Amino acid sequence: MFIFVLHLQKEQYSGPFYEYSQSAVPDSVDWREKGIVTAVKDQGRCGSCWTFGTAETIESYYALKYGVQKIMDLSEQQILDCTPNPNDCGGTGGCGGGTAQLAMDRIIAMGGITTEWTYPYISYYGEAEKCKFASNITSNPFAELVSWTHLPTNNQDAVISALATMGPLIINVDANGWAHYETGIYDGCNQTYPDINHVVELVGYAPDYWIIRNSWNTGWGEMGYIRVRKTPVASCGTDLNPQDGDICNNGPKTVQVCGACGVVYDSTYPVLK
């Protein structure tokens, strides 16, 4: 298992913000039960969590839109190789880190994302490759995006509403204490000074926990998943190293982060064509 520090930076969001209502939502949601979540993957030694969280969530929304029989593993390698990062958003790009927002904007610009089978993941050991989208992507996109939606920052009600009504979410979390997690409801994050440094897919919730899909293979946690403590009201802390999270160069020196492990801090989901 590998945690790679992401020097994420907030850019001007190109996607719309999520508008939620206060209408009743279920007590629990688990999108795995709907058949729209693919098998757990393994990013290996590459700091590519941002590509995995993005590709996995697009897979889920493709299945929601076109049917579970159409679900397909999509190419993290395409995102990794073909997403420029001139402003060091989320790191230095490739295995050095990036953001889901950068990834989705680039997928839109490229005309879509292809399948894992067409453009396989080969950066397990930590080296990105040259972009091959000219031959592999523009001629054969599988899923196409028109935009993506950003949830209000640190708003637990919005996260619950979006999970219940829209689908899984791409989220940024503090995973510093996750390496030794095996099972149960995890409550070991530093809530006073969280350090956002990892991108994952949020696939559900129950009254007292969140269900999160990681990209460290099925030998980690609960078959690749972790349940993180959820409370009726999300407590908040201060991230003293926000460039480990989702802040741009010359951004604020500290940010407020809410929810255990920062679960409700920064959330997005794709909008498919």
Predicted confidence (pLDDT) per residue in 94-133, tens digit: 998 889 999 999 999 999 999 999 999 999 999 878 998 7
Q: Is 117 exposed, middle or buried (0-12, 13-18, 19+ CB in 10 A)?
A: exposed
Predicted confidence (pLDDT) per residue in 152-192, tens digit: 999 999 999 999 999 999 999 999 999 999 999 999 999 99
Pick from 160, 167, 154, 151: which is nearest to 210 by CA?
Answer: 160
Spatial distance between the Cα atoms of 144 and 136, rounded to a whole number of angstroms: 14
Predicted confidence (pLDDT) per residue in 51-100, tens digit: 999 999 999 999 999 999 999 999 999 999 999 988 888 788 899 888 99
pLDDT at 137 over 60: no
The pLDDT of residue 227 is 98
Confidence category of residue 249, pLDDT binned at 50, 70, 90: confident
Confidence category of residue 6, pLDDT binned at 50, 70, 90: very low
The pLDDT of residue 74 is 97
pLDDT higher at 139 or 156: 156
The pLDDT of residue 2 is 37
Average pLDDT, the chain: 89
For the chain, list the domains and their CATH numbers.
29-272 (3.90.70.10)
Is the pTM above the cut of 0.85? yes
Confidence category of residue 141, pLDDT binned at 50, 70, 90: confident
The pLDDT of residue 4 is 39
Residues designated as active site:
49, 198, 214
The pLDDT of residue 251 is 72
**Of the ranges 2-16, 203-217, 251-265, which one carries the lowest mean pLDDT score?**
2-16
Confidence category of residue 210, pLDDT binned at 50, 70, 90: very high
